[in-house]
Amino acid sequence: MRFFLIPIILILIQCQSQPYEFSESSSSEILKTLSSDEMRGRQAFTEDIDKAAEFINEQFKEIDLDKLDSESDYLQNFEVLSIRAVNADVEIEGVQVSAENYFVLGDTSTIEWAETNEIKTEHIAAGENFQQRFNEIRSMDVEAFVFVDQSHENTFRRYQPFFSRASRTFPDDQSSNKIFALTSKSQQSSFSAYVTKEYDFLELANVVGKIEGNRKDEYVVFSAHYDHIGIRQPNTANADSIANGANDNASGTTAVIELAKYFKSKGKPERTLLFVAFTAEESGGYGSQYFSKQLEPDQIMAMFNIEMIGKPAVEGPNTAWITGFEKSSFGELLQKSAEGTIYEFYPDPYPNQNLFYRSDNATLARLGVPAHTISTTPIDVDPDYHQVSDEFETINVVHLTNTIRAISQAAVGIVSGQDTPTRVDASQLN
Ligand SMILES: [Zn+2]
């Protein structure tokens, strides 16, 4: 009998290994580092964000997460292409169109449209819906010269400065050249255009760790964007200029790291868990867009996107809200799992703010994934939102830690494979 007893005792000891306990000291330490002045506001497309990526990478390494691919670290590196039209000469009936009356969209190739060229023409006529026509023409797969009727001048004046700046796109997603010109001339007029382009490859990186589950190909994503808005113009000479983004979104990133520790301590889960820190949420959403293309959306069972959980919600302490609550059964499942705990989840109280569409969850939701954002900050009145005052000192660390713990409890059903939220109907989204 003794011979058999020893392995049984060993197994019992293993089973009793305690899961990771969330603590205010741990969340506060991570939050403090991510929102420190050394991180300089973690703006994507600047080198300031690299420090934050490296810190999260080190955290994932310490937790000993699996890697998504066979890479040497947890950085999911990718490139965005920046394209800008320079040295342009655009003419209609031999008369030069002034710079404020046209803009160029398209890929890296030079434009050389002589008057004799048979380039397709389009017309946004008086009375047509400018935005709708613009989107139609923009998505066409051919080169086109677009005559915009002068009755659209006001709208055109809003679009022109925006689209005259460098445009950013994924290298694979380039569209063909199009020139939009505000003119009183008809679509039958002759035109010519000579435009050279300047372009640059910009480096970005998400940070992604994994805990492989028994159901290898059923993913549950815990995510938060780790970038912020960087350095702002100071109001006075000695004023603070670093937008530290403690709440937005060092708080969510802290949650992702703490949740990774917790689930790692629980042993092999039923579903595969992904812990993702997204880049460039504040600068075009490129991080979540790239990430969404690396996986089969049908294999992502749910996405817990976490944003701004450093301040208690209007409904009181120990509550959080979920964006797009009615778009899948995700929220109800969280409510069910949280029953009997001190914490409560409820639908987003700010529907007019369109928060469902204002974070990385929307990218995945558009692919049908039950992808929702969990948040607690009264965003309509928060004085620190996107300000240099979004500092560590404004964060309620007790609330932050309670919220992270609550998310870990509310996720139990989905992580264990017992619960599967319904899919989002992408055709119903904006
Ligand atoms: Zn944010």
Shared-domain flag, residues 269 and 341: yes
- What pLDDT is stored for residue 364 in this prediction? 98
CB atoms within 10 A of CB 188: 8
* Cα 225 to ligand 1 centroid, rounded to whole Å: 7
Per the CB < 8 A criterion, the answer to whether 242 and 229 are in contact is no
* Cα 430 to ligand 1 centroid, rounded to whole Å: 20
pLDDT digits over 26-41, tens only? 999 999 999 999 999 9
Decide if pLDDT at 5 tops 80. no
pTM (2 d.p.): 0.89
List of residues 6+ apart from 196 with CB closer than 8 A: 85, 86, 87, 88, 110
- What pLDDT is stored for residue 11 in this prediction? 52
pLDDT digits over 95-109, tens only? 999 999 999 999 889
* Cα 250 to ligand 1 centroid, rounded to whole Å: 9
Shared-domain flag, residues 121 and 261: no
Tokens standing for 168?
A: 């950013």
Kindly state the average pLDDT of the residues 255-274: 98
Shared-domain flag, residues 332 and 234: yes
pLDDT digits over 313-362, tens only? 988 899 999 999 999 999 999 999 999 999 999 999 999 999 999 999 99
The reply to whether 195 falls in a domain is no
The reply to whether 198 falls in a domain is no
Per the CB < 8 A criterion, the answer to whether 179 and 35 are in contact is no
The reply to whether 5 falls in a domain is no
* Cα 224 to ligand 1 centroid, rounded to whole Å: 8
Shared-domain flag, residues 300 and 169: no
- What pLDDT is stored for residue 226 in this prediction? 98
Shared-domain flag, residues 259 and 370: yes
**Which CATH number belongs to the domain containing residue 375 in this structure?**
3.40.630.10
* Cα 360 to ligand 1 centroid, rounded to whole Å: 9
Shared-domain flag, residues 210 and 162: no
How far is the C-alpha of 81 from the C-alpha of 95, rounded, in Å?
33
Shared-domain flag, residues 265 and 343: yes
The reply to whether 11 falls in a domain is no
- What pLDDT is stored for residue 1 in this prediction? 42
How far is the C-alpha of 23 from the C-alpha of 28, rounded, in Å?
8
Q: Which residues surround ligand 1, an ion (CB under 5 A)?
A: 248-249, 307
* Cα 251 to ligand 1 centroid, rounded to whole Å: 10
Shared-domain flag, residues 370 and 222: yes
Per the CB < 8 A criterion, the answer to whether 117 and 185 are in contact is no
Q: From 133, 155, 189, give the residue that closes a domain.
A: 189
Task: Give start and end residues of each alpha helix (H) in 17-129.
Answer: 24-34, 48-63
The reply to whether 164 falls in a domain is yes
Residues in the chain: 430
* Cα 375 to ligand 1 centroid, rounded to whole Å: 10
The reply to whether 118 falls in a domain is yes
For the chain, what is the mean pLDDT?
93
pLDDT digits over 69-89, tens only? 877 899 999 999 999 998 899
Shared-domain flag, residues 209 and 62: yes
The reply to whether 14 falls in a domain is no
How many structural domains is the chain composed of?
A: 2
pLDDT digits over 391-421, tens only? 999 999 999 999 999 999 999 999 999 999 9
- What pLDDT is stored for residue 72 in this prediction? 85
Of 116, 109, 134, 115, the closest CA to residue 124 belongs to: 134
Tokens standing for 324?
A: 């797009």
Shared-domain flag, residues 230 and 340: yes
Shared-domain flag, residues 36 and 138: no
The reply to whether 9 falls in a domain is no
* Cα 374 to ligand 1 centroid, rounded to whole Å: 11
Domain encompassing residue 121:
95-189
* Cα 6 to ligand 1 centroid, rounded to whole Å: 52
